[in-house]
Amino acid sequence: MYKIKRLEEYQGLLGSMSTREDGNMSFVYGDEEDVIGNKKKFFEKLEINIEDVVDMSPMVDQPDQVVYVDSKNKGDILDKTKILFGQML
């Protein structure tokens, strides 16, 4: 896990990225149960409940898209099949 130390200066803001040691985090390349388990362990290290996270797949082919999420989306796993033009389907 890599933590973005500079962001710790701001109350309530956390920046972190997984590394290979954290395991596969991609539903594209892994078994769903294994990926969810790896993500859960990753967030536990950060003392974050996975049920409070909105998980989004990278939108590499649409890098300029903005998706609005709020507390209603807690626990959701979103990918581009569920997102259209900055709105969720």
Is 46 in the same domain as 69? Answer: no
**66 in the same domain as 46:** no
pLDDT cut 70: percent of the chain above it? 78
Residue 44 and residue 63 in one domain? no
Q: Could you give the number of structural domains in the chain?
A: 2
Task: Characterize the bridge pairing of strands 2-3 and 16-17.
Answer: antiparallel
pTM value > 0.75: no
pLDDT at 63 over 70: no
Q: Examine the domain organization and report whether 85 and 44 are in the same domain.
A: no
pLDDT at 88 over 90: no
Residue 41 has a pLDDT of 94
Mean pLDDT across 73-88: 63
Binned at pLDDT 50, 70 and 90, residue 62 comes out as low
Q: Which domain holds residue 17?
A: 1-50
